[in-house]
Amino acid sequence: MRDVKPILWKGGRLELLDQRKLPFNETYIELRGARDTARAIRSMVVRGAPAIGVTAAFGLALEAARFRDGHLHDDFERAASVLLAARPTAVNLRWALERLRATAAALGENVTPESLARALRRQALALYREDIAANRALGAAGARLLSRGDVLTHCNAGALATAGYGTAIGVIRSAWSSGRRFGVYATETRPFLQGARLTAWELVKLRIPVTLITDGMVGAVLASGKVGAVVVGTDRTAANGDVANKIGTYTIAVLARRHGVPFYVAAPTSSIDLDCAGGDDIPIEQRDADEVTHIRGRRIASEGVRVFNPAFDVTPAELVTAIITEQGVVRGGDRKGLARAVRAAQLERGRSTSPGRA
């Protein structure tokens, strides 16, 4: 199977697979700088925490070609703040921009615009490659947890939501390629339909049997006893293990606990925010009412109705069985384990980006 590539970086050009058009059209859009990259992130051309982090890094690297000599710091910060404002919940956006800021700082004051732009392009590409490697490692670490029954997932934490391979779907595909056989229940994921449009599409392509359900069917499916594990992704996991993910995740975690089904979160360390003490500190994006009142541009609710449309919710750590990172599996709510995983990833990066290997 040809790998799904949500982000293409070729010869210094950035193209994004327009995820709003899937599963019917596979078209790419070219981006040229920070502003149109921020617009693409906000309008969901690209979505999913790791994918928006990596895309923002490429957007900033492209913008660097316009930075003015003598104003490099200001131009960098202006572009970074445009990108950071695109979506608030996924910490990967901040994480990726901080990595680029550290790259710029390491070059010192006397850097030329050309060498800064070159270094930022190199760093963005490193983030892209690291993300795929982390997802593969995370997939392998989590695969052995899927030891019985079918699997239920929510939203899309697949290749489309990352630089490639996927996080929750990475765990699923890794278990599948190691020979385990099971079916996957994919929730539709109202209102943006990431499950129906994207997860179902990816799993069909991977030839992993997938059954699409509406979000309201999760209780009945878990009560049927067929599901052995729930695996979801995360936009930001706080230091205490509280998990922000797509709206509806919390409901699924409560139901999983009610039915004794383990609830796993696939979290590359790039989505763990140790500066955020707990779920209450995670900013939750509120999106346009039209996403709820309309489907594909067609109104389905009365004019005048009020709408509540948070894009994410927070699942408290006590409902999380384990968090699967590229550094291994951490028990839900194990603060020290989470901090250790983040530190181990930082150390590994330090080793692989030591002079001569950048």
* Residues with catalytic function: 235
Terminal-to-terminal C-alpha distance of the chain: 31
Binding of ligand MRU by 173 (CB under 6 A): no
Tokens of 224: 């049927």
Nearest to ligand MRU of 121, 173 (CB atom)? 173
Site string for ligand MRU, 295-324 (x = CB under 6 A): ----------------x-------------
Nearest to ligand MRU of 116, 247 (CB atom)? 247
Binding of ligand MRU by 162 (CB under 6 A): yes
Which of 37, 174, 234, 315 is the binder for ligand MRU (CB under 6 A)?
A: 234
Nearest to ligand MRU of 4, 90 (CB atom)? 90
Nearest to ligand MRU of 174, 194 (CB atom)? 194
Binding of ligand MRU by 142 (CB under 6 A): no
- Contacts of residue 106, Cβ cutoff 8 Å, sequence gap at least 6: none
Which of 103, 194, 237, 315 is the binder for ligand MRU (CB under 6 A)?
A: 194
Sequential DSSP letters for 237-296: EETTS-EEEETTHHHHHHHHHHTT--EEEE--GGGEETT--SGGGS---B--THHHHEET
Question: Which of 46-54, 95-103, 220-228, 326-334 is the region at the interface with ligand MRU (rule: CB under 6 A)?
Answer: 46-54
Q: Which residue is nearest to ligand MRU (CB)?
A: 233
What is the rounded CA–CA span in Å between residue 245 and residue 248?
8
What is the rounded CA–CA span in Å between residue 201 and residue 314?
26
Closest CA to 344 of 272, 242, 241: 272
Nearest to ligand MRU of 120, 276 (CB atom)? 276
Binding of ligand MRU by 33 (CB under 6 A): no
Binding of ligand MRU by 197 (CB under 6 A): no
Question: Which of 112-120, 159-167, 219-227, 350-358 is the region at the interface with ligand MRU (rule: CB under 6 A)?
Answer: 159-167
Question: Which of 41-49, 95-103, 138-146, 251-259 is the region at the interface with ligand MRU (rule: CB under 6 A)?
Answer: 41-49
Q: Which of residues 57-96 bind ligand MRU (CB under 6 A)?
A: 90
What is the rounded CA–CA span in Å between residue 166 and residue 169?
5
What is the rounded CA–CA span in Å between residue 326 and residue 27?
31
Binding of ligand MRU by 37 (CB under 6 A): no
Which of 17, 143, 155, 200 is the binder for ligand MRU (CB under 6 A)?
A: 155
- Contacts of residue 263, Cβ cutoff 8 Å, sequence gap at least 6: 229, 230, 232, 252, 253, 256, 257, 315, 319, 320, 321, 332
Residues binding ligand MRU: number (CB under 6 A)? 17
* Minimum distance of ligand MRU from residue 2's CB (angstroms): 20
Question: Which of 68-76, 155-163, 257-265, 345-353 is the region at the interface with ligand MRU (rule: CB under 6 A)?
Answer: 155-163
- Contacts of residue 193, Cβ cutoff 8 Å, sequence gap at least 6: none
Binding of ligand MRU by 49 (CB under 6 A): yes
Residue count (the chain): 358
Which of 6, 17, 40, 48 is the binder for ligand MRU (CB under 6 A)?
A: 48
Which of 4, 6, 17, 50 is the binder for ligand MRU (CB under 6 A)?
A: 50
Instruction: Show the CA angle centred on residue 310, arms to residues 306 and 313, nearest 5°.
Output: 140
What is the rounded CA–CA span in Å between residue 85 and residue 37?
11
Element (H, E) at 23: none
CA dihedral 263, 268, 269, 271 (to 10 degrees): -80
Under the rule (CB under 6 A), what is the footprint of ligand MRU?
A: 47-50, 90, 155, 157, 161-162, 167, 194, 233-235, 245-246, 311
